[in-house]
């Protein structure tokens, strides 16, 4: 069979996305792939295996006749937290598993990739499978961002502060002429429309009524946040949610994640090592409680996700995931898809907050202004920032 150009494109795209995961891991030592310092961080080798397991389980196994799974045990290792051997259950945590080794996981990826390339060019690759392939690739891209955030956490919590890379990545230019952009009240539409890929949680484009609002044309900088700190922001409960204040006290929080006050100078762990804090740079690694307290201190608030989406064409975004004041809930008309893929987003729609935009860790091509990212209010380890509204 001669592959159609379309299929060749699919192979190219598949290969490009899959290779990017390997490129992200290239600077790692084998040991870096294995550890899990906190429950929110997964070992890099787990990310590599889990994304591969997705293609094996949802595409190859049900659709490619004669496909042999690489290792039947991997279903336990790369999916669930429970392992069964005969009648006995062993609980394993991702961070306790030295095996399969990194080289085995790479063999697993190679095996699945080779099979996928054959499959994609075969008659078995029906058009009906395209959305699932698309989902698998977007799933891998989500994990590429998590790979970077998790690697940063692993290296940034090592007392030797090893650098991930020698090169400093250039940061997007911040508008010098900062200010607020006004919008008038009225009915607006939000939610995905068009042809490309989106996640199920973006669907159901719908109308919302917004009152007059203003939104900042730039995200908050390190220098601006330092003013809040120096004004005693971490020591005045007035600006904090009650559970945010509990978080401050329990963790003795005094600054964003990765900031260290060393000999009276603020340093920041970055992917290129421990650096002096740059006051002009965009603030990063704050949680919702901090974002919200800062906004309160400024006499403003965070934008809702609808405000953000409506306004997003009027400012530059993409450097930080921006906390919104919206809880992560289903859009009017949200529908779970049938089967295991239906679990993708809906089951997380409780007690998390929406973030909009993208970050320096987001793979290129994996952002759009309808994208609904979401995390728990206490989490700092993503590349998160603040945009004010009022």
Residue list 284-313, contact with its own copies (CB under 8 A): 288-289, 292, 301
- 321 contacts its own copies (rule: CB under 8 A): no
- 250 contacts its own copies (rule: CB under 8 A): no
Task: Give buried/exposed letters for 292-302 (b at 16+ CB in 10 A, else e).
Answer: bbbbbbbebeb
Question: Rounded to the nearest 10 degrees, what angle do helices 44-54 and 102-120 cross at?
Answer: 20
- 205 contacts its own copies (rule: CB under 8 A): no
Instruction: Identify which of 152, 30, 151 has the alpha carbon closest to the alpha carbon of residue 102.
Output: 30
178 and 151 in contact (C-beta within 8 Å)? no
Task: Give buried/exposed letters for 202-226 (b at 16+ CB in 10 A, else e).
Answer: bbeeeebebeebbbbbbbbbbebbb
- 262 contacts its own copies (rule: CB under 8 A): yes
Output the smallest distance, CB 270 to its own copies, in A.
15
Residues whose CB is less than 8 angstroms from the CB of residue 222 and which lie 6 or more positions away in sequence, other chains included: 268, 277, 278, 279, 280, 281, 282, 283
Q: Which two tokens stand for residue 350?
A: 């409780």
Output the smallest distance, CB 192 to its own copies, in A.
16
- 27 contacts its own copies (rule: CB under 8 A): no
- 273 contacts its own copies (rule: CB under 8 A): no
Instruction: Identify which of 246, 355, 357, 351 has the alpha carbon closest to the alpha carbon of residue 291.
Output: 355
- 177 contacts its own copies (rule: CB under 8 A): no
Among 26, 39, 87, 128, binds its own copies (CB under 8 A): 87
By CB under 8 A, which span of 5-13, 25-33, 122-130, 135-143 interacts with its own copies? 25-33
| Contact positions with its own copies (CB under 8 A) in 123-142 | none
Among 24, 102, 284, 286, binds its own copies (CB under 8 A): 102
- 257 contacts its own copies (rule: CB under 8 A): no
- 96 contacts its own copies (rule: CB under 8 A): yes
- Which CB atom, from 197 or from 297, has the smaller least distance to its own copies? 297
- 194 contacts its own copies (rule: CB under 8 A): no
Among 69, 118, 229, 349, binds its own copies (CB under 8 A): 349
Residue 202 DSSP symbol: G
Order of strands, edge to edge, in the sheet holding 273-276? 259-262, 265-270, 273-276
Output the smallest distance, CB 128 to its own copies, in A.
23
- 183 contacts its own copies (rule: CB under 8 A): no
Query: How many residues at the interface with its own copies, by CB under 8 A?
Result: 72
By CB under 8 A, which span of 4-12, 16-24, 109-117, 261-269 interacts with its own copies? 261-269
- Which CB atom, from 12 or from 376, has the smaller least distance to its own copies? 376
Residues whose CB is less than 8 angstroms from the CB of residue 338 and which lie 6 or more positions away in sequence, other chains included: none
- 83 contacts its own copies (rule: CB under 8 A): yes
By CB under 8 A, which span of 131-139, 228-236, 309-317, 349-357 interacts with its own copies? 349-357
Q: How many CB atoms lie within 10 A of CB 338?
A: 7
Measured CA to CA in angstroms, residue 389 lies from 43, 237, 282, 322 at distances of 37, 21, 17, 12
| Contact positions with its own copies (CB under 8 A) in 145-164 | 154-155, 157-162
Q: Give the Cα separation of 66 and 73 in Å (integer).
A: 19
- Which CB atom, from 107 or from 124, has the smaller least distance to its own copies? 107
Q: Which two tokens stand for residue 205?
A: 């484009």
173 and 282 in contact (C-beta within 8 Å)? no
By CB under 8 A, which span of 100-108, 166-174, 219-227, 312-320 interacts with its own copies? 100-108
- 180 contacts its own copies (rule: CB under 8 A): no
């Amino acid at each position: 069979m001669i592959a159609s150009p379309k299929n060749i494109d699919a192979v190219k795209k598949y290969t490009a996305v899959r290779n990017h995961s390997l490129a992200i891991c290239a600077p790692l030592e084998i040991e870096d792939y294995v550890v899990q310092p906190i429950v929110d961080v997964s070992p890099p080798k787990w990310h590599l295996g889990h994304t591969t397991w997705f293609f094996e389980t949802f595409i190859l196994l049900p659709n490619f006749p004669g496909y042999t799974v690489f290792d039947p045990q991997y279903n336990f290792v790369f999916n669930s937290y429970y392992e069964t051997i005969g009648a006995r259950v062993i609980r394993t945590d991702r961070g306790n598993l030295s095996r399969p080794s990194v080289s085995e996981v790479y063999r697993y990826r190679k095996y699945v990739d080779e099979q996928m390339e054959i499959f994609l060019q075969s008659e078995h690759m029906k058009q009906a499978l395209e959305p699932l392939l698309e989902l698998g690739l977007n799933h891998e891209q989500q994990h590429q961002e998590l790979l970077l955030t998790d690697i940063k956490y692993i290296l940034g919590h090592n007392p030797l502060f090893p650098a991930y890379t020698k090169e400093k990545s250039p940061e997007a230019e911040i508008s010098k002429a900062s200010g607020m952009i006004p919008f008038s009240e009225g009915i607006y539409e939000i939610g995905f429309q068009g042809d490309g890929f989106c996640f199920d949680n973006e669907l159901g484009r719908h109308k919302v009524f917004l009152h007059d609002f203003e939104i900042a044309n730039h995200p908050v900088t390190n220098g601006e946040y330092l003013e809040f700190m120096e004004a005693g922001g971490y020591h005045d409960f007035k600006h904090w949610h009650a559970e945010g204040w509990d978080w401050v006290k329990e963790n003795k929080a005094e600054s964003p994640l990765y900031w260290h006050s060393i000999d009276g100078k603020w340093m920041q762990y970055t992917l290129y090592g421990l650096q002096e804090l740059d006051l002009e740079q965009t603030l990063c690694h704050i949680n919702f409680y901090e974002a919200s307290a800062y906004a309160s201190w400024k006499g403003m608030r965070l934008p809702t996700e609808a405000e953000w989406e409506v306004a997003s064409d009027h400012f530059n975004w993409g450097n930080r995931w921006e906390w919104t004041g919206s809880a992560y809930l289903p859009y009017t008309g949200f529908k779970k898809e049938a089967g295991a893929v239906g679990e993708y987003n809906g089951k997380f729609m409780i007690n998390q907050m929406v973030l909009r935009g993208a970050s320096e860790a987001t793979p290129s091509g994996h952002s759009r202004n309808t994208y609904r990212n979401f995390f728990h209010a206490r989490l700092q380890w993503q590349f998160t920032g603040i945009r004010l509204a009022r």
